[in-house]
Amino acid sequence: MRTRWLKIPAAWITPLGVIGAVIAITWVGIAFTARLWVPFDPLSQDLPRLQAPGIDTLMGTDALGRDIFSRLMTGASVTIPLALMLVLMSLAVGTLIGAIAGYFGKWVDELLMRLTDLVMAFPTVILAMVVAAALGPSLFNAVIAAFVVSWPQYARMTRSIVLGLRTQNYVMAGRLMGFSPFKTLRVDIAPNVVGPILVLASLDVGTAILLLSGLSFLGLGAQPPTAEWGSMISAAIQNFDSWWIGLFPGLAILTVVMAFNFVGDSLRDIFDPTSQVSRAGARS
Amino acid sequence: MGNTPRATRRYSARSPLVGYLLRRLGTSVLLLFGVTIVTFALANLVPGDPIAAALGEGAASNPATVEAYIKERGLDQPLPVQYANYIGGLFQGDMGISLRTTQPVADDLAKAVPATVEIALLAIIVSLGIGVALGSLAAYRRGKISDQLVRVFSLIGLSIPTFWMALVSFNFFFLQLRIAPGSGRLSPALAPPPTVTGFYTADALLAGQWVTFTDALAHLMLPVFVLSLFTIGLLTRFVRTSVLEVLDADYVRAGRAKGLSGSRLLFGYVLRGASLPILTIVGLAFGTLLSGTVLVEAVFAWPGLGSYAYNSATSLDLPGVMGVGLVVGVVYLSINFAVDLLYGVLDPRVRLA
Amino acid sequence: MSDITTPQTADAAAAATAPVLTVDELTIGIGSRKNLKSIVKGISLTLTPGRIQGLAGESGSGKTVTSLAMLGLLPSNAVVGGSIRLNDTELVGMTHRQLNEIRGRRIAMIFQDPSSSLHPQLTVGVQLTDHVTRHLKLSKKQARAHAIELLERVRVPNPAEALARYPHQFSGGQRQRIAIAIALACDPIVLLADEPTTALDVTVQAGILHLLRDLADERQLAVLLVTHDLGVMSAIADDIAVMRHGEVVESAVRQEIFANPQHAYTRELLASLPGAAGFEEATE
């Protein structure tokens, strides 16, 4: 069980995973370097307005005369790092809470799980919207709102794994040997949680990007003039005829999210062999 | 066991379902209160000035107005009392006044709910149909090319930003190709059918207005298509997993050993066996649909909860946003309760002793 | 000693009637073309009306795979060689459509665990009649009357009421009786029983075994009894074949196997049985 994920290499090479990883790495690269090489200042409004894509402006210009290509590329440096940070935050907090709930059980578990129930009683975007609106519109508050709705899934998953492990012999043995709760969690339980959590996290990067850009689309995230994909699409509603304003930012979101989903789904095959290994081996 | 008298069997056959439903109902009611606590807390306790938000900057600068507002709303009282007042108000349908429409939020939302439920119901039917078909296909052809294709398509479905898809498809099918009808629920020339259910399609059928029905249906197509893409992906993946599990079950092998034909086996044995996990995910899919409406309806000018939420959010109308949060929370809870109910009906082990 | 078809079996078979099912040099491999794992390595068997042929062996010996092959129920990555003939019809290489005319109609099967081989969400009545209406072209009403008769025969109490009930409302032993009724509903000539008592309480095992014995006698069924349990074999089998690693190592009439085991492996199996008292009970 614990050595399973050491034999990854051969299984890594799935077309889906490779395609996803290449696209994802490309976007992350763009996110960190875009400011150095984009042709125009993403905020300057000196270009002709609503210009269709052409040789000067690859993806056209928006209603304020800004270069969409430059905004799109620098937009990556807004959304992608925030999404990654959001996932790390939810992962850290959610996993810790789930582990505590599963390990200590009783009223601690009851309390924490009712809390997750409460969050999950709302559809995610709705709750995030309500929280963001209450906190006031800003990109930072949008990240907080997204965090509020995304930690419970990590808590739930970790809790159920820990609950299953708590009674396993080797975990019991550790406890009998006098391991402290946190040593037990770290030594005996953490290695079993890593795989499933990693799968969840990589799929969650996509969800985080969709959520953050959705909040910005609603005007509750990035504020003008920040170049952010969701708010760029939102601006397109006022200019239906200039199709390029909305088309490209959407494609950017689609490709990033798809890339992370491809990676996550391939990771799932590796960490959860039951999902892919042939069930052909009949009883005999 | 077989000799048990009929009367007692009848009794024991009925009580488990009732007990189960009462338990689920209890959970739902508790969660409902949780939902109100969340909206109350967000509206009153978060940093920022809810009074300024409620009155608007202009009025909030006038101390007398603020004082009057605080008195009127009971904001000088302790929090538990405020919460009790809030709940009491909710029971009388008081969700505050929208800053944007200056109408009571409850009235605005009452008009918006049927439009959204109509879209969500149709989208769930479409997603379920396509999801079950694609998911079963992928499971039956596990590892083959068609399985891989379904996998990629469903992953792409899960990656599409719905608000963008709404925009692009509206642009393409309406503005460019002119094959989709415009925005809204009906063409401007048509009057809404007499209200019975609040669903234009159903109401038009009930009134026998065929033209209105087809027009309403045509207006539904594009929003439903856009909303369904995500849930199709979600359901397809889940159906595939569930069907794979059931295909492995002994009772399916036993059905094969009886010489049942493929379709009888698929519908009678496999899908019936997978129906319970699929039902669970349908409840979840409803949540994502309701989320989706917020991002999609505005593009199609569809006068539902989603447009209302969008307009409230973009104009920072806090009472409006809270109202949507509360109503959608209640709708979602009711749907999940309905799912629990259906679960009890579909699973004889829950229904019968 | 490695002589597989001893003269005794041939004589015994000839003395009764002609075999209805003949397995000849059956080979089964499972896996991809490059990585084919050989499970059954050329076994031969015959099933004769009114006789119970035992197929013994530990798990992994290939005995269940052999029985599944007779119904064409092997996974799609299985490669089958040799011949399985039902009277004069060759089953190996049949399409699923052709096999569906045989399955349930000519050859029926009961499985190890009736709590999983009966569909939990379908009433006993549906599971007892859906293949009857298909194979025998009976009306719903006729099929129902037929089903009640069958349940009476396998001694399920209150047959008419039982039809409207679900599997979980019966005890394990009754569930297996229902499974037997389902198998016999279309009046097959061959019955495959894969560990039919293994999942049941010891107290009800004997009842099920006797039912199988009686049914074999009165319906002139050719029964293949697959089990790892020689105690079960000794109770009702007429002939016994012992399988190991995909081969039949010894095959003879029951008395011969128990009185005079030829192969070392058979002696090993016999030695692992509980004392002679165990047989007596089972035979009761």
Q: Which of A229-238, B160-169, B192-201, C253-262 has the highest mean pLDDT?
A: B160-169
Taking an 8 Å cut-off on Cβ atoms, the answer to whether B260 and C134 are in contact is: yes
Does residue B348 have a cis peptide bond before it, meaning omega lies within 30 degrees of 0?
no
- Interface probe with B: pick from C127, C169, C177, C195, most Cβ of B within 10 Å: C169
Q: Which residue of A has its CA nearest to B297?
A: A218
Residue B273: CA atoms inside 13 Å, Cβ hemisphere, count? 27
Task: Establish if A21 belongs to a structural domain.
Answer: no
Interface residue C82 vs chain A (CB under 8 A):
no
On the question of pLDDT at B8 being above 80, the answer is: no
Q: How far is C62 from chain A (nearest CA, A)?
A: 5
Taking an 8 Å cut-off on Cβ atoms, the answer to whether A261 and B175 are in contact is: no
Percent of chain A topping pLDDT 70 = 91
pLDDT of residue A153: 93
Where is pLDDT greater, at A94 or B75? A94
Can you tell me the mean pLDDT for C27-45?
Answer: 86
Of the candidates C111, C113, C166, the beta carbon closest to that of B348 is on C166
Taking an 8 Å cut-off on Cβ atoms, the answer to whether C157 and B3 are in contact is: yes
Q: How far is B198 from chain A (nearest CA, A)?
A: 23
Taking an 8 Å cut-off on Cβ atoms, the answer to whether C116 and B250 are in contact is: yes
Q: How far is B83 from chain A (nearest CA, A)?
A: 17
Task: Establish if A42 belongs to a structural domain.
Answer: no
Q: How far is A59 from chain B (nearest CA, A)?
A: 16
Pick the range with the lowest mean pLDDT from A20-34, B54-68, C230-244.
B54-68
Of the candidates B1, B256, B261, the beta carbon closest to that of C73 is on B256
Please report the residues numbered 281 through 310 in chain B whose beta carbons come closer than 8 angstroms to any beta carbon of chain A: 286-288, 290-292, 294-295, 298-299, 309-310
Can you tell me the mean pLDDT for C6-24?
Answer: 65
Q: Which residues of C touch B251 (CB under 8 A)?
A: 116-120
Residue among C260, C268, C256 nearest C12 (CA): C256
pLDDT of residue B147: 93
pLDDT of residue C228: 86
Percent of chain A topping pLDDT 90 = 39
Of the candidates A278, A281, A284, the beta carbon closest to that of C63 is on A284
Task: Establish if A61 belongs to a structural domain.
Answer: no
Instruction: Report pLDDT digits (tens) over C39-52.
Output: 898 899 999 999 99
Instruction: Report pLDDT digits (tens) over A177-190.
Output: 777 777 777 777 77
Residue B178: CA atoms inside 13 Å, Cβ hemisphere, count? 0
Task: Establish if A40 belongs to a structural domain.
Answer: no
CA gap C82, C39 in Å, rounded: 14
Computed over every residue of chain B, the mean pLDDT equals 85
Residue C215 contacts residue C221 (beta carbons within 8 Å): yes
Taking an 8 Å cut-off on Cβ atoms, the answer to whether A282 and C59 are in contact is: no
Residue C54 contacts residue C237 (beta carbons within 8 Å): yes
On the question of pLDDT at C4 being above 80, the answer is: no
Q: What H or E segment, with its residue span, contains residue A190?
A: helix A190-217
Q: Which residues of B touch C119 (CB under 8 A)?
A: 251, 254-255, 269, 272-273
Classify A138 in phi/psi space as left (phi over 0), alpha (psi -120 to 50) or beta: beta
Taking an 8 Å cut-off on Cβ atoms, the answer to whether C130 and B352 are in contact is: no
Q: Which residues of A touch C116 (CB under 8 A)?
A: none
- Interface probe with C: pick from B246, B248, B251, most Cβ of C within 10 Å: B251
pLDDT of residue A195: 85
As given in the structure block, the two tokens for residue B184 are: 């809204």
Task: Establish if A282 belongs to a structural domain.
Answer: no
Taking an 8 Å cut-off on Cβ atoms, the answer to whether B261 and C134 are in contact is: yes
Q: Which residues of A touch C77 (CB under 8 A)?
A: 278, 280
pLDDT of residue A1: 43
Where is pLDDT greater, at B173 or C275? B173
Taking an 8 Å cut-off on Cβ atoms, the answer to whether A284 and C60 are in contact is: yes
As given in the structure block, the two tokens for residue A245 are: 């304003």
Residue among B306, B319, B335 nearest B102 (CA): B319
- Interface probe with C: pick from B258, B263, B278, most Cβ of C within 10 Å: B258
pLDDT of residue C5: 43
The CATH number that applies at residue A122 is 1.10.3720.10
Please report the residues numbered 108 through 167 in chain B whose beta carbons come closer than 8 angstroms to any beta carbon of chain A: 143, 151-152, 155-156, 158-161, 163-165, 167
Q: In what order do the strands lie in the sheet with C222-227?
A: C107-110, C190-194, C222-227, C52-56, C239-244, C247-253
ipTM over 0.95: no
Taking an 8 Å cut-off on Cβ atoms, the answer to whether A280 and C75 are in contact is: yes
Of the candidates B251, B256, B349, the beta carbon closest to that of C103 is on B256
Can you tell me the mean pLDDT for C178-205?
Answer: 90
Residue A44 contacts residue A66 (beta carbons within 8 Å): yes
**For residue A175, how many other CB atoms are within 10 A of its CB?**
15
Q: Which of A80-94, B72-86, C76-90 has the highest mean pLDDT?
A: A80-94
Chain A partners (3+ C-beta pairs within 8 A): B, C
Q: Which residues of C touch A284 (CB under 8 A)?
A: 39, 59-65
Task: Establish if A103 belongs to a structural domain.
Answer: yes
The amino acid present at C238, given as its one-letter code, is D
Range of the domain at A244: 89-277
Task: Establish if A28 belongs to a structural domain.
Answer: no
Percent of chain B topping pLDDT 70 = 91
Of the candidates B1, B275, B352, the beta carbon closest to that of C171 is on B1
CA gap C146, C135 in Å, rounded: 13
Can you tell me the mean pLDDT for C26-35?
Answer: 85
Pick the range with the lowest mean pLDDT from A198-202, B186-190, B216-220.
B186-190
Provide the pLDDT confidence category of residue B86 given band limits of 50, 70 and 90: confident
Q: How far is B336 from chain C (nearest CA, A)?
A: 22
* Number of domains into which chain A is organized: 1
**Residue pairs between chains A and B whose CB atoms are closer than 8 Å:** 152
Q: How far is B133 from chain C (nearest CA, A)?
A: 21
Please report the residues numbered 173 through 202 in chain C whose beta carbons come closer than 8 angstroms to any beta carbon of chain B: 174, 179, 182
Q: What H or E segment, with its residue span, contains residue B335?
A: helix B318-346
Computed over every residue of chain C, the mean pLDDT equals 85
Provide the pLDDT confidence category of residue B294 given band limits of 50, 70 and 90: confident
**Residue pairs between chains B and C whose CB atoms are closer than 8 Å:** 98
Can you tell me the mean pLDDT for B88-107?
Answer: 86
Taking an 8 Å cut-off on Cβ atoms, the answer to whether B295 and A278 are in contact is: no
Q: Which residues of C touch A281 (CB under 8 A)?
A: 30
Q: Which residue of C has its CA nearest to B142?
A: C76
Q: Which residues of C touch B253 (CB under 8 A)?
A: 73, 111, 117
DSSP, collapsed to helix, strand or coil, labels residue C94 as coil
Instruction: Report pLDDT digits (tens) over B132-180.
Output: 999 999 999 988 899 999 999 999 999 999 999 999 998 888 888 888 7
Question: β-pairing, C52-56 with C239-244?
Answer: parallel
On the question of pLDDT at B85 being above 90, the answer is: no
Going by C-beta distance under 8 Å and a sequence separation of 6 or more, which residues neighbour residue A56?
A47
Can you tell me the mean pLDDT for B46-65?
Answer: 66
Residues β-bridged to residue C21: C47, C86
Chain B partners (3+ C-beta pairs within 8 A): A, C
Provide the pLDDT confidence category of residue B54 given band limits of 50, 70 and 90: low
CA gap B228, B162 in Å, rounded: 9
**For residue B330, how many other CB atoms are within 10 A of its CB?**
18
Q: How far is C165 from chain B (nearest CA, A)?
A: 9
Q: Which residues of A touch B290 (CB under 8 A)?
A: 123, 126
Give the global pTM.
Answer: 0.85
Interface residue B333 vs chain A (CB under 8 A):
yes
Taking an 8 Å cut-off on Cβ atoms, the answer to whether C130 and B254 are in contact is: no
CA gap A122, B322 in Å, rounded: 12
Q: How far is A281 from chain C (nearest CA, A)?
A: 7
Residue C228 contacts residue C56 (beta carbons within 8 Å): yes
